Amino acid sequence: MKTKIQWKWVIGASVLFLLFLIFVLPQVSSYSSEAIGQSESPDQSLIYSGSQLYDLAASYGEAGRETYILLRWTFDLIWPVVYTLFLVTWTIKLLEYTSGNNWMRYLVLLPIMAALFDLLENIGATIVMARYPLESGIIQTITPIATFVKWITVSGSFLLLVFLIINILISKIKKRIKDNY
């Protein structure tokens, strides 16, 4: 059984995603930089170490750490829902136009995995920030891994959309060529 989704959901998710990109993200980024006192953040990095995360916690100061934690449990709970909704709806919709393997329906799990690793990253970073100056051992080691996997799965999800679009276009071109001969 193939999962189908109506275009109104795809368009709605796309509008929400674009509104967040254009209006919400810049505002939150500006507020975060101002409140924390710097723009560097572990969740914006692809690769960092547990000791670098701990160093960031030190550089934020107490008020900066409190703001960082607040943002992780307000904005950064909503943003993954927005980008996951966008990626999932588009993946499902584009899969409707592809023929072939039954396994492809599982590709929708990629953006869901991204959101789960984003949440894991938030939990880990919150623990490190909340416990500072105490070391957070395994959490401070796992959090950078969660961040790395989050960015790989988010990037992979967007690349998947590009791949599906190219695949659909190639199929349509081949069909048109075949129909003309």
Structure tokens belonging to residue 145: 């891994």
Q: Quote the CA–CA distance of 132 and 62 in Å, as a whole number.
A: 9
Q: Quote the CA–CA distance of 35 and 68 in Å, as a whole number.
A: 9
User: In sequence order, which residues have a C-beta less than 8 Å from that of residue 3 and are 6 or more positions away?
Assistant: 92, 95, 105, 108
Q: What is the pLDDT of residue 1?
A: 43
* CB atoms inside a 10 Å sphere around CB 102: 8
Q: What is the pLDDT of residue 63?
A: 94
Residue 163 is given by DSSP the state H
Domain ranges of the chain: 7-171
Low-confidence ranges of the chain (pLDDT < 70): 1-2
